[in-house]
Amino acid sequence: MSKLVIVGTVAFDAIETPFGKTDKILGGAATFIGLAASYFNIDAAAVSVVGGDFPQEYLDLLANKNIDISGIEIVKDGKTFFWKGRYHNDMNSRDTLITELNTLADFSPVVPGDYKDAEVVMLGNLHPLVQASVLDQITNKPKMVILDTMNFWMDCALDDLLNVIKRVDVITINDEEARQLTGEYSLLVAAEKIQTMGPKYVVIKKGEHGALLFHKDQAFYAPALPLKEVFDPTGAGDTFAGGFAGYLAKTNDFSFENMKQAVIYGSTLASFCVEKFGTERTQNLSNKEVYERLLQFKQLTQFEIEIA
Amino acid sequence: MSKLVIVGTVAFDAIETPFGKTDKILGGAATFIGLAASYFNIDAAAVSVVGGDFPQEYLDLLANKNIDISGIEIVKDGKTFFWKGRYHNDMNSRDTLITELNTLADFSPVVPGDYKDAEVVMLGNLHPLVQASVLDQITNKPKMVILDTMNFWMDCALDDLLNVIKRVDVITINDEEARQLTGEYSLLVAAEKIQTMGPKYVVIKKGEHGALLFHKDQAFYAPALPLKEVFDPTGAGDTFAGGFAGYLAKTNDFSFENMKQAVIYGSTLASFCVEKFGTERTQNLSNKEVYERLLQFKQLTQFEIEIA
């Protein structure tokens, strides 16, 4: 088993979908990643910042999932990062209504002492300089560094982003972002180009169309499970990343074959995430229901081919 | 082995893509379906109509692939159906520039005597009344009737379409059309609704995102192979359908497990179709290259899961 350190936001989200709306609820990349990774009962720590307005019960929730929260700084006289968004009817696109950076604006991450030798590092979506600062604090060479990012940083901090991308093993990115980063429409060509920028592995997330893993001339495709209803997509990408990183940390096996399994676990956990608002579904998962959904993935994708 | 009868257009296409353009070349649903199905060396017949302007070499091409062309009516003083289209830069959307129905406007299909007892019937995209007329001519109950259609018929001949849909076993349709036909956004729910309309099996084509097969509570997902370049998507859906129908006819096994294989074969043949203009790639396929691509599909999708 490897230790996993996660950096990312711990935040308030307010969400509107065609199915309903929430007040401020628990959100943030590190939250979703941490909850997904905690499914594997590994040693994990979250590095983040919140304000004095952040409820103790949310911190307790993370701690009770065996997530080390000593790296979550509490700025007593500050406010917690807040995002409010509204999903369109297709649930694939959304408008950001409010973004209040608050304490995140001056966030200077501090990795807890016990996690400076973490073997797996998950850099959740944040300013690339913050992601780089976490890497600078890792004393041993990690077995695997995974970076998630988004188009926002390509638009306004591209050089910093390219610098941190050089230092990671895996990048997770969505299809449009992969195209933006490389100027290539074909995801296969885009993934090849990204591999020349640093990451040996490229995971391209396609939302309802699943996820692709690329490495050299190998490719692996995991569909998204067809669902009757997508209730709230918020955090699905982070939950995918948390399942992916958590499975690798748990199994301590970084082969391509095992990364395929990590992609399937990530997709499985993400398929739960979208069924309810926020973290509600992901924080209450039994082994049995995860196992049943893994079997569904198997039935959905596995076949025997006979040569006709 | 089952006999396969195919109805659909045999046509001229003129295609513009960001990579180049063609004059009038061989096209049409029955052409692509027939060429894909001919890969399996089965007894197949095409039912269609062309004008006196249709080159003998195109008819010879089909006949040399062991496709019975006695059901392709030649209207000596008529002109062949012609479609001209231009693909956008993303290759996923296109504008129709010209549609000349010509002899297709008065097409009354006649199934050759030898094929009135065909076990597999592939109704390519055409007016639903023409599709129904072919079914009326089949004397025995076929083992499998497969229908392909498009949004155009939902817009302008919905009642006729619903009537023929009642009579088929499998429908192949794209994702937007499945949503239009049912008013449901979730493809899972849409597929359930379509199964109450007649077809026991629903194949939803998602272009670059692959294809889904639904039957009762079972689902199967075949990705599209990630390609470096999509040169010309024309005929990919028909090629998929032809591979699907041809494989079922060849194996004479209509179980869900075998239909999974049929979906993989359809996807494999379609992945070749898009690599060159028109039928160029599909009409020259070796067993070896198809086999290699089937292996690629296997590597792309197959995994062993260990319970973490």
pLDDT of residue B304: 87
Using CA atoms, how far apart are residues A207 and B209, in angstroms rounded to an integer?
Answer: 11
pLDDT of residue B265: 97
Instruction: Pull the structure tokens for residue A268.
Output: 């499985």
Residue B127 has pLDDT above 90, yes or no: yes
- The per-residue pLDDT for range B35-82, each reduced to its tens digit, is 999 999 999 999 999 999 999 999 999 999 999 999 999 999 999 999
pLDDT-based confidence at B91, cuts 50/70/90?
Answer: confident
CA-nearest of B104, B56, B97, B99 to B78 is B104
Give the dihedral sign, CA A222/A223/A228/A234. positive
Place of tokens 């992901």: A282
In DSSP notation, B179-248 reads: HHHHS-SSHHHHHHHHHTSS-SEEEEE-GGG-EEEEETTEEEEEPPPP-S-----TTHHHHHHHHHHHHH
Using CA atoms, how far apart are residues B228 and A184, in angstroms rounded to an integer?
Answer: 10
CB contact under 8 A, A250 and B308: yes
Residue A67 dihedral angles phi and psi, to the nearest 5° = -95, 125
CB contact under 8 A, A226 and B91: no
Could you tell me the residue ranges of all domains in chain A? 4-301
Give the dihedral sign, CA B155/B156/B162/B164. negative
> Does the beta carbon of B221 lie under 8 angstroms from any beta carbon of chain A?
yes
Using CA atoms, how far apart are residues A56 and A54, in angstroms rounded to an integer?
Answer: 7
pLDDT of residue A301: 95
Q: Are B47 and B268 in contact (CB under 8 A)?
A: no
Task: Give CA angle at A224 (A220, A228), nearest 5°.
Answer: 165
Residue B199 has pLDDT above 90, yes or no: yes
Residue of B nearest to A220 (CA): B300
Residue B99 has pLDDT above 90, yes or no: yes
Give contacts of A257 with chain B, Cβ < 8 Å.
303-304
CB contact under 8 A, B221 and A219: no
Chain A neighbours among B 52-91 (CB < 8 Å)? 89-91
CA-nearest of B231, B257, B242 to B30 is B242
Residue B270 has pLDDT above 80, yes or no: yes
Cβ neighbors of A61 (< 8 A, separation 6 or more) are: A26, A283
Residue of A nearest to B179 (CA): A90
Using CA atoms, how far apart are residues B158 and B272, in angstroms rounded to an integer?
Answer: 33
Residue B276 has pLDDT above 90, yes or no: yes
Q: How far is CA A44 from CA A106, A110, A138, A239, A264, in A?
A: 24, 15, 14, 15, 20
Q: How far is CA B49 from CA B14, B25, B28, B59, B234, in A?
A: 18, 16, 11, 11, 20
pLDDT of residue B233: 92
CB contact under 8 A, B226 and A219: yes
- pTM given for the model: 0.93
Superfamily the domain A4-301 falls into: Ribokinase (3.40.1190.20)
Q: Within 13 Å, how many C-alpha atoms sit on residue B97's CB side?
A: 10
Using CA atoms, how far apart are residues A114 and A122, in angstroms rounded to an integer?
Answer: 16
Closest chain B C-alpha to A219 CA, distance in angstroms:
6
Which ranges of chain A have pLDDT less than 70? 308
Residue B229 has pLDDT above 90, yes or no: no
Mean pLDDT in residue range B200-226: 95
Number of residues assigned to chain B: 308
Q: Report ipTM (2 d.p.).
A: 0.88
Residue B308 has pLDDT above 90, yes or no: no
Residue B293 has pLDDT above 80, yes or no: yes
Using CA atoms, how far apart are residues A70 and A45, in angstroms rounded to an integer?
Answer: 8
pLDDT-based confidence at B230, cuts 50/70/90?
Answer: confident
Interface probe for A, chosen from B175, B303, B304, B307 (most Cβ of A below 10 Å), is: B303
pLDDT of residue A108: 97
Residue of B nearest to A222 (CA): B301
Residue B124 has pLDDT above 80, yes or no: yes
